[in-house]
C-alpha cells in the first residue's frame, strides 16, 4: 500500500481529478443572490476567476481594470496588467472550460515542480505532493492563483539548482507579475554563482512583462493603467492584517505596530539569514561540500569559499515560501498552499526529531484541516479564525528555519 501512495501516476491522477471535480462543482453552483454583494450582478462560486478574466476585457477595451463595474465581478482586480493579458486564453473560452483549464494550470504546474525538485528523494517528493494537496484544494475552491505562484517559485529554485539563470529569472518574473511577493524568490540567487548574470536576466524579463500589454493597448493608456494599479495598491495596504505576523501580534498581544515596520523587520531577518549561510561556510575550515543532504564530504579542510550545502539551500527555499505568506498583510486561507510547500521542504531538510514530527502534524491540522468540516464550525469561528491559528505553525516553523540558518555551523 505504501508503494501505491508513492506512485507518481496515482499522484497525477489525484491532482487532475481534484481540478476537474472542483471546477464542475463551482460551475454547477451558478450565481448567488446579488443583493448580498453590493448589487453587483450577483456572485458566482468561482468569482476570483471572473475577476481575473474580466480584467483582460477591461484592459483590451481601454477601461480601468482596477475599478468596479455594476455588471462585473463583486471584487476588484489587484494584479499586474501583464497578468490581465495572460488571462486572455482563458477569458476567450466559456466559463466551464476556462475555469477547468485555470484550475488544471494551478494544480499541474505545482505538481510538476514538486516531482522535479532536486535534492529530495522520490519518497520525499511524494510526501510533499500529498502534504500540500488539501491546501491546494482550498486554493482551487476559491479559483485562486496560489498554486501557480507556488509552482513558479519552486521552478525558480529548480532552475537555480540547474545553473539556468535565465530560466530562474523568467520564473521569478512571471510569479512576481502574478503576485508581487513572488519577486522575493529572487533572493535565492545570492546562494548561487553568477548572481549578477541572474540580475541581468531578471531585469530583461521584468521589462518584457512590464511592456507586453503594449500588444493590445497604447503606451499612454498603459502608463495610466500602472497609475491606477499603484493607487489601488497604496489604498489596499491599509485594508486588513490577514493571517499574518501582523494579525498574530494584534490578536495575541494586542500590539498593532506599523505594517511596513513589521514587513521590513521580517525582511531584514530573512536577508541576514540568507547572507549568514555562505559567509559562515566560507570561513569554516571543516565546512562540507556535500551536494545532497545524504552525501558525506571527503574534501580536505579549507578556508576557501564553498557553496551552501543542499540542506541550507532547501531551508532557504522553504524560508522564502513561508515568508511571503506570513509577512503578507493580505494573506488569506487559500494563500497558505505556498507556505505549506515551504513547510514540507523544512520537514524534508529537518532531523525529524520527535518535536519536529509533532510540529509538522500540528501544522497540517491547523493550516490544512482547520478550514474543513473536521473542525466544528463553532471551533473555527470561535477559536481558529479569531486567533489566526492557521498562521501560527508557519510563523513558528519560519522562526526555526531562521534560527537554524544562523546557528548551524555545518551539515554532515
Higher pLDDT, 359 or 408: 359
Residue 10, CB half-sphere, CA atoms under 13 Å: how many? 11
Structural domain range at position 299: 106-407
237 — pLDDT class (breaks 50, 70, 90) = low
pLDDT of 299 > 70? The answer is: no
301 — pLDDT class (breaks 50, 70, 90) = very low
**pLDDT of res. 288:** 40
Asked if residues 150 and 321 have their Cβ atoms less than 8 Å apart, the reply is yes
Quick one: the chain helix, strand, coil %, rounded to 5? 70, 0, 30
pLDDT, tens digit, for every residue of 207-230?
999 999 999 999 999 999 999 999
**pLDDT of res. 262:** 92
**pLDDT of res. 32:** 63
Residue 65 belongs to a domain: no
**pLDDT of res. 39:** 39
Per-residue pLDDT averaged across 182-205, rounded?
Answer: 94
Residue 8 belongs to a domain: no
Average pLDDT, rounded, for the chain:
87
**pLDDT of res. 275:** 86
Give the lowest-confidence range in 67-71, 261-265, 301-305, 369-373: 301-305
Helices 146-162 and 165-178: crossing angle in degrees, nearest 10, is 160
Residue 262 belongs to a domain: yes
**pLDDT of res. 411:** 39
Give the lowest-confidence range in 7-21, 203-217, 293-307, 375-389: 293-307
What's the CA gap between 346 and 271, in Å, rounded? 18
Computed on alpha carbons and rounded to an integer, the radius of gyration of the chain in Å comes to: 22
**pLDDT of res. 290:** 40
Q: What sign does the dihedral 278-284-285-291 (CA atoms) show?
A: negative
pLDDT of 284 > 60? The answer is: no
The secondary structure of 252-315 as a DSSP string is HH-----HHHHHHHHHHHHHHHHHHHHHHHHH-TT----SSTTPPP-PPP--S--PPPHHHHHH
Reduced to 3 states (helix: H, G, I; strand: E, B; else coil), residue 44 is strand
- Of all residues in the chain, the percent with pLDDT exceeding 70 is 87
Residue 335 belongs to a domain: yes
239 — pLDDT class (breaks 50, 70, 90) = low
What's the CA gap between 319 and 113, in Å, rounded? 17
Give strand pairing partners of 398. none
Residue 75 belongs to a domain: no
Residue 58 belongs to a domain: no
Residue 208 belongs to a domain: yes
Higher pLDDT, 254 or 30: 254
**pLDDT of res. 279:** 56
Per-residue pLDDT averaged across 302-319, rounded?
Answer: 76
Residue 289 belongs to a domain: yes
What's the CA gap between 67 and 72, in Å, rounded? 10
Reduced to 3 states (helix: H, G, I; strand: E, B; else coil), residue 142 is coil
Q: How many domains does the chain have?
A: 1
Reduced to 3 states (helix: H, G, I; strand: E, B; else coil), residue 211 is helix
Angle at 316 between CA 392 and CA 142, to 5 degrees: 50
70 — pLDDT class (breaks 50, 70, 90) = low
What is the DSSP code (8-state) at residue 387?
T
pLDDT of 23 > 60? The answer is: yes
pLDDT, tens digit, for every residue of 116-169?
999 999 999 999 999 999 999 999 999 999 999 999 999 999 999 999 999 999
pLDDT, tens digit, for every residue of 366-412?
999 998 889 989 998 999 988 999 999 999 999 999 999 988 654 33
pTM recorded for the entire structure: 0.90
Helices 392-407 and 336-349: crossing angle in degrees, nearest 10, is 40
Amino acid at each position: 500500500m505504501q508503494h501505491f501512495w508513492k506512485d507518481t501516476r496515482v499522484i497525477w491522477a489525484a491532482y487532475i481529478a481534484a481540478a476537474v471535480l472542483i471546477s464542475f462543482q463551482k460551475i454547477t453552483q451558478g450565481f448567488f443572490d446579488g443583493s448580498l454583494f453590493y448589487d453587483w450582478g450577483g456572485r458566482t462560486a468561482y468569482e476570483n476567476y471572473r475577476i481575473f478574466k474580466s480584467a483582460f476585457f477591461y484592459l483590451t477595451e481601454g477601461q480601468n481594470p482596477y475599478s468596479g463595474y455594476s455588471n462585473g465581478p463583486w471584487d476588484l482586480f489587484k494584479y499586474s496588467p501583464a497578468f490581465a493579458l495572460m488571462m486572455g486564453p482563458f477569458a476567450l473560452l466559456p466559463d466551464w472550460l476556462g475555469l477547468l483549464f485555470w484550475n488544471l494550470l494551478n494544480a499541474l504546474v505545482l505538481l510538476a515542480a514538486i516531482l522535479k525538485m532536486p535534492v529530495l528523494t522520490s519518497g520525499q517528493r511524494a510526501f510533499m505532493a500529498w502534504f500540500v494537496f488539501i491546501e491546494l484544494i482550498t486554493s482551487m475552491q476559491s479559483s485562486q492563483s496560489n498554486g501557480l505562484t507556488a509552482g513558479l517559485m519552486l521552478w525558480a529554485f529548480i532552475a537555480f539548482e540547474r545553473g539556468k539563470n535565465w530560466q530562474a529569472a523568467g520564473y521569478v518574473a512571471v510569479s512576481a507579475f502574478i503576485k508581487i511577493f513572488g519577486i522575493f524568490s529572487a533572493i535565492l540567487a545570492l546562494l548561487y554563482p553568477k548572481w549578477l548574470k541572474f540580475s541581468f536576466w531578471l531585469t530583461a524579463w521584468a521589462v518584457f512583462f512590464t511592456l507586453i500589454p503594449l500588444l493590445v493597448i497604447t503606451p499612454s493608456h498603459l502608463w495610466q493603467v500602472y497609475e491606477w494599479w499603484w493607487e489601488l495598491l497604496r489604498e489596499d495596504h491599509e485594508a486588513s492584517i490577514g493571517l499574518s505576523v501582523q494579525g498574530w501580534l494584534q490578536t495575541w498581544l494586542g500590539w498593532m505596530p506599523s505594517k511596513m515596520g513589521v514587513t521590513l523587520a521580517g525582511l531584514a531577518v530573512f536577508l541576514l539569514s540568507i547572507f549568514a549561510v555562505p559567509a559562515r561556510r566560507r570561513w569554516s575550515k571543516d565546512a562540507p561540500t556535500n551536494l545532497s543532504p545524504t552525501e558525506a564530504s571527503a574534501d580536505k579542510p579549507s578556508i576557501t569559499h564553498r557553496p551552501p550545502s543542499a540542506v541550507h539551500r532547501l531551508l532557504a527555499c522553504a524560508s522564502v515560501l513561508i515568508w511571503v505568506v506570513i509577512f503578507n498583510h493580505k494573506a488569506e486561507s487559500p494563500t497558505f498552499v505556498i507556505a505549506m510547500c515551504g513547510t514540507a521542504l523544512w520537514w524534508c531538510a529537518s532531523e525529524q526529531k520527535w518535536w519536529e514530527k509533532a510540529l509538522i502534524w500540528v501544522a497540517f491540522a491547523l493550516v490544512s484541516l482547520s478550514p474543513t468540516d473536521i473542525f466544528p464550525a463553532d471551533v473555527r469561528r470561535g477559536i481558529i479564525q479569531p486567533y489566526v491559528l492557521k498562521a501560527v505553525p508557519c510563523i513558528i516553523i519560519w522562526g526555526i528555519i531562521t534560527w537554524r540558518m544562523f546557528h548551524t555551523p555545518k551539515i554532515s
